[in-house]
Amino acid sequence: MKKIKVKTPAKVNLTLEILNKREDGFHNIQSIMQAVNLYDYITIELENSDNTIIELSGNSDEIPYNESNLVYKAATKFLEKTNIKNVHLKINIEKHIPVAAGLAGGSTNAAGTFFALNEIFNKPLNKNQIDELCASLGSDLNFCMYGGCALCTGRGEKIEKLPCYEQEITLIKPKNIGISTKEAYGSFAELKDKSNPDNTSKLKQLLSQGKFDKTLLYNSFEKAIFPRHVELQNIKEQIPNSLMSGSGSTFFVLEPVLNAKLNTKDYNIFEHLKTIKTGVEVVNE
């Protein structure tokens, strides 16, 4: 039996600007994504078998452990691409990243699965092939694979690495609200004013110079999602310099500790986190 364990980081969107809707139904975006040292862990055990079996398990009751899970889909795509058969994959998903939170929890797990399988099978796929698999499964996987800081364009799958401005970060997640990407884009579609300030280009230029400006943080989804959720409005009122990540419902603030009067019964607060330069990595045990 062979075994591998990898850690897969969460991400936040320092900027997220929706440009237009594409013919394939997706949206073109420009976003600066940043990896954070909040990790899920993917452990894969490999055994020979008379049949091909993918078996998922984990510690969370908020995700499915069947064919609908992105990890299962990633494993299936990898085996099909490499024509590997007659293996029993036992994949355990240890969740710490909140679900349906705008932190790419599912995407980073799937990226970690591609990475781990390529390692355990002695790298049958090159970087370009892995990148293609990531892009075929979701918009955030390519970023999650490599982490750090990057400009993400297209539907999010095209990445351009940027210097990482290392700083402390705090995450705030309402306990009873999860927002799907479908809901977020549906809300955005109803907006009359879909303009954006092009903060992405401005922040990219600063990062390239080793500088940073918190006033450039921006998310197109905020004005679409806020009217539907009082809890999100409350976060913004209590912490004006916070920003929603992705399609929500998690907010982040680039400060080590919060002094806001948020009831911890209603919110999960992750303090003393840091931005990181890395993506998926092997855990040496």
Catalytic residues: 11, 140
Give Cα 237 to chain centroid, integer Å.
Answer: 25
SS (H, E, C) 212-228: CCHHHCEECCHHHHHHH
219 touches 245 (CB < 8 A): yes
How many angstroms separate the CA atoms of 78 and 73, rounded? 9
Q: Closest Cα partner for 79 from 51, 42, 99, 59?
A: 51
Which strands make up the sheet holding 267-274, listed edge to edge? 243-244, 251-253, 168-174, 267-274
6 touches 109 (CB < 8 A): no
> Which stretch of DSSP H or E encloses residue 237?
helix 230-238
Q: What's the farthest any 2 CA atoms get from each other in the chain?
A: 58
